[in-house]
């Protein structure tokens, strides 16, 4: 598929659109970008706590076709991956897969950042929670 | 109905078949150089040019001797500003313009600022993009030689109070230039009653050919003189050298003649189509905002911000409809529309803006199709928009600490 077709395909049939409960302990949310800059991505991951892998991923994106395609693509990529694997995804891989032109590279950077933020959000929640649990057990 | 649908008449218009018809012989049979004074070939071409000059002048209440031909409105704007600056630099070095002029005006002013020691006041507009005459009066100093304010804006269609600005310029003894490219043929223009000294025109916005423009230069009260920017054979009374584009000029003249005849009815028809489009979109979607003036507006212009939807994404979903966007993603510079930014549209909404412009060949059927398609695409993209979701949850997007890139 050529560049246009891949981006178009994701734009026309975006994968994994939706939202998860951002308060759930096994869900991490990453929100990146700014309305003033013309793109905002929200990416969410649901973690299988037994295996430590990403069970499900959802996104919503405000932005151009390339931004929508970048976020749609990474939700496909990260499903089933371990947190480390997902964290290691680089924007250059997205650029390559979608053949993004130079002016659209920032879309891929946003998608990479969204994955990282979502996973970090989950890890933060988890450490806070285990901290709380320890506090509880002291009493 | 044929696809794609053209709703970008502010960008350019097709040549009216009636215009093309009168142009055609001037490419092949009647090919003489209008400056060839020594033979029949030249005389015929010259007569055709002079006929067109009259047709164009009539449309704005000027006389033919006051109209010179250029390659387009960009050159006309440049010549008016740079030519006046050069000619009157001993009188003063200050120019007044607005913050939302066309780049042909703004960049000529920036050049005078940076390279010629001029000072330029870029007066602000109100939130509808209208220049207030009192702002012009305030900005004029004893060093001001020229005021340049567009008749109507190319993005938002807002019409300026040109006669009032012209009056102030007359009172203060300052030359008044207006870029009337978008206004011509849509609203009546009269250089006498409006106090206009210099006026830029383009053929391709009024169903004439591309590559032809004109500049009106007042001859009396006051007599305006411009330094030339293009030198050579001394054509156009020495103001603009270069062999005339006879076929293009003939087409330009015919286009003016046609539009002068049909403007009263045509502008009503355009307004009906435009209003139908706006009402249709407004009734089908929440949080859509009109950019520009609600009343003092070109009859064919509709500029809308579709909150929470990026403009380029919206255009991508309705590729069979040709429109423009103020979103950064659609501009070569990656900068969102300076016009919308400067009239105070929030940057978030600038990225969501779409400009629709209807024209002579727009049909009701095309508008119906467009309304349906716009609503369908916008709804789909809002389902995809995290901002729309947050807004619907009652989150104030302004309070969020965004990680700007």
Long-range contacts of B103-110 (CB under 8 A, 24+ apart): B104/B73, B104/B74, B104/B77, B104/B78, B104/B179, B105/B77, B105/B81, B105/B148, B105/B150, B105/B179, B108/B77, B108/B78, B108/B81, B108/B82, B109/B81, B109/B148
Which contacts of A51-57 are long-range, i.e. CB under 8 A and separated by 24 or more positions?
A52/A82, A52/A83, A53/A80, A53/A81, A53/A82, A53/A83, A54/A78, A54/A79, A54/A80, A54/A81, A54/A82, A54/A83, A54/A86, A55/A79, A56/A16, A56/A20, A57/A16
B334 lies within 8 A of chain A by CB? yes
CA–CA distance, B198 with B165 (Å, rounded to integer):
13
CB of B320 within 8 Å of a chain A CB? The answer is no
The residue of chain B with its CA nearest to that of A61 is B385
Residues of A in contact with B392 (CB under 8 A): none
Residue A138 above 80 pLDDT?
no
pLDDT of residue B201: 98
Residues A53-75: pLDDT tens digits? 999 999 999 999 999 999 999 99
Task: Please state whether the peptide bond connecting residue B63 to the residue before it is cis, i.e. omega within 30 degrees of 0.
Answer: no
Helices and strands, number each (H, E), in chain A: 5, 3
pLDDT recorded at residue B328 = 73
Higher pLDDT, B379 or A139: B379
Measured distance CA(A22)–CA(A25) in Å, rounded: 8
For the stretch B76-96, pLDDT in tens is 999 999 999 999 999 999 999
Q: What does CATH list as the number for A3-130? A: 3.90.1010.10
Give residue-wise pLDDT tens across range B345-392. Answer: 999 999 999 999 999 999 999 999 999 999 999 999 999 999 999 999
**Residues A67, A107, A110, A119: which is the catalytic one?**
A107
CA–CA dist B6, A69 (Å, integer)? 27
C-beta atoms of B402 and A36 within 8 A: yes
Contact check, Cβ <8 Å, B403/A62: no
Q: Quick one: what percent of chain B has pLDDT higher than 70?
A: 98
Residue spans of the domains in chain A: they are 3-130
Domain with CATH 3.90.1150.10 in chain B: 5-9+263-399
Q: Nearest residue of B to residue A17 by CA position? A: B384
B402·A42 Cβ contact <8 A: no
* Closest-CA distance of chain B to residue A61, Å: 5
Task: Encode pLDDT of B201-215 as tens digits.
Answer: 999 999 999 999 999
CA distance A134 to chain B (A): 32
Contact A61 B384 (CB under 8 A): yes
Cβ-based contacts of A68 with chain B (< 8 Å): 313, 384
pTM here? 0.94
What pLDDT is recorded for position A1? 40
| Chain A positions with Cβ closer than 8 Å to B | 8, 11, 14, 17, 19, 31-42, 60-65, 67-68, 103, 106, 109-110, 113
Rounded CA separation B310/A69 (Å): 14
B329 has a chain A CB within 8 A of its CB? yes
- Residue extent(s) of CATH 3.40.640.10 domains in chain B: 17-258
Contact A62 B310 (CB under 8 A): yes
Which site among A8, A11, A14, A62 would you substitute to test the B interface, given the most B Cβ atoms closer than 10 Å to its Cβ?
A: A62
CB contact under 8 A, A64 and B309: no
User: Which among B154, B156, B140, B189 is positioned nearest to B77, based on CA atoms?
Assistant: B154
Concerning whether B329 is annotated as a catalytic residue, the answer is yes
E-only strand ranges, B218-347 = 288-290, 301-306, 321-322, 324-325
Domain range B17-258, CATH architecture:
3-Layer(aba) Sandwich (3.40)
Predicted confidence at residue A139, as pLDDT, reads 52
Residue A107 appears among annotated catalytic residues: yes
Instruction: Assess B398–A contact: CB distance below 8 Å, yes or no.
Output: no
Closest CA of chain A from B6, distance in Å: 22
Q: What is the enclosing helix (H) or strand (E) of B85?
A: helix B73-87
Q: In the CATH hierarchy, which top-level class contains the domain B5-9+263-399?
A: alpha beta
**To the nearest whole angstrom, how far is the Cα of B372 from the nearest Cα of chain A?**
17
Contact B183, B205 (CB under 8 A): no
Strands (E), B166-308: 175-179, 198-202, 213-217, 288-290, 301-306
Name the residue in chain B with its Cα closest to that of A102. B334
* CB pairs A-B closer than 8 Å: 85
- B242 in contact with A, Cβ within 8 Å: no
How many DSSP H helices and E strands does chain B contain?
Answer: 12, 13
Q: How many CB atoms neighbour CB B204 within 10 A?
A: 23
| Nearest alpha-carbon partner for B76 in B145, B183, B179 | B179
Whole-number Å distance between alpha carbons of B195 and B149: 12
- The span from the CA of B131 to the CA of B125, in Å, is 5
Average pLDDT value for chain B: 96
Q: Is B364 on the interface with A (CB under 8 A)?
A: no
pLDDT tens digits, A81-136? 999 999 999 999 999 999 999 989 999 999 999 999 999 999 999 998 877 766 66
* Nearest chain A CA: its distance from B344 CA (Å): 13
Question: How far apart are alpha carbons B46 and B50 in whole angstroms?
Answer: 6
């Amino acid at each position: 598929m050529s560049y246009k077709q891949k981006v178009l395909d994701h734009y026309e049939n975006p994968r994994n659109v939706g939202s998860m409960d951002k308060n759930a302990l096994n869900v991490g949310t990453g929100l990146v970008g700014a309305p003033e800059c013309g793109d905002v991505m929200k990416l969410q991951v649901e973690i299988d706590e037994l295996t430590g892998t990403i069970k499900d991923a959802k996104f919503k994106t405000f932005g151009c076709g390339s931004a929508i395609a970048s976020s749609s693509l990474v939700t496909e990529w990260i499903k089933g991956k371990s947190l480390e694997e997902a964290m290691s995804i680089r924007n250059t891989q997205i650029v390559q897969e979608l053949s993004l032109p130079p002016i659209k590279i920032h879309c891929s950077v946003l998608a990479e950042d969204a994955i990282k933020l979502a996973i970090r959000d989950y890890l933060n929640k988890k450490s806070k929670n285990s901290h709380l649990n320890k506090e509880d057990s002291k009493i | 109905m044929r696809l794609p649908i053209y709703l970008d008449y502010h960008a350019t218009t097709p040549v009216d078949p009636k215009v093309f018809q009168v142009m055609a012989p001037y490419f092949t049979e009647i090919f003489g150089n209008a400056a060839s004074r020594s033979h029949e070939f030249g005389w015929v071409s010259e007569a055709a040019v002079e006929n067109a000059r009259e047709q164009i002048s009539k449309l704005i209440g000027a006389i033919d001797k006051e109209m010179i031909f250029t390659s387009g409105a960009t050159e006309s704007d440049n010549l008016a500003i740079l030519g006046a600056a050069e000619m009157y630099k001993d009188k003063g070095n200050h120019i007044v313009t607005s913050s939302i002029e066309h780049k042909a005006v703004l960049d000529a002013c920036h050049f005078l600022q940076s390279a010629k020691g001029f000072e330029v006041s870029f007066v602000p507009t109100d939130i509808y993009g209208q220049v207030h005459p009192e702002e012009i009066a305030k900005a004029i100093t004893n060093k001001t030689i020229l005021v340049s304010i567009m008749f109507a804006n190319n993005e938002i269609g807002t019409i300026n109070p040109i006669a009032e600005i012209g009056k102030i310029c007359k009172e203060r003894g300052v030359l008044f230039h207006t870029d009337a490219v978008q206004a011509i043929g849509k609203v009546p223009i009269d250089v006498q009653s409006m106090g206009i000294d210099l006026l830029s025109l383009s053929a391709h916005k009024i169903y004439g050919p591309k590559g032809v423009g004109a500049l009106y230069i007042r001859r009396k009260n006051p007599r305006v003189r411009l330094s030339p920017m293009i030198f050579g054979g001394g054509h156009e009374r020495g103001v603009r050298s270069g062999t005339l584009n006879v076929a293009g000029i003939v087409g330009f003249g015919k286009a003016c003649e046609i539009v002068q005849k049909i403007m009263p009815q045509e502008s009503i028809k355009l307004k009906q189509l435009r209003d139908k489009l706006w009402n249709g979109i407004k009734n089908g979607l929440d949080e859509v905002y009109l950019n520009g003036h609600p009343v003092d507006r070109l009859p064919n212009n509709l500029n809308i911000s579709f909150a929470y939807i990026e403009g380029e994404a919206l255009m991508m979903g309705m590729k069979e409809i040709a429109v423009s966007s103020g979103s950064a993603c659609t501009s070569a510079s990656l900068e969102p529309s300076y016009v919308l930014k400067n009239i105070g549209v929030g940057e978030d909404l600038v990225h969501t803006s779409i400009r629709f412009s209807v024209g002579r060949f727009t049909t009701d059927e095309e508008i119906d199709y467009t309304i349906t398609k716009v609503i369908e695409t916008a709804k789909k993209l809002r389902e995809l928009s995290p901002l729309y979701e947050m807004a619907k949850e009652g989150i104030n997007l302004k309070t969020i600490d965004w990680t700007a890139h």
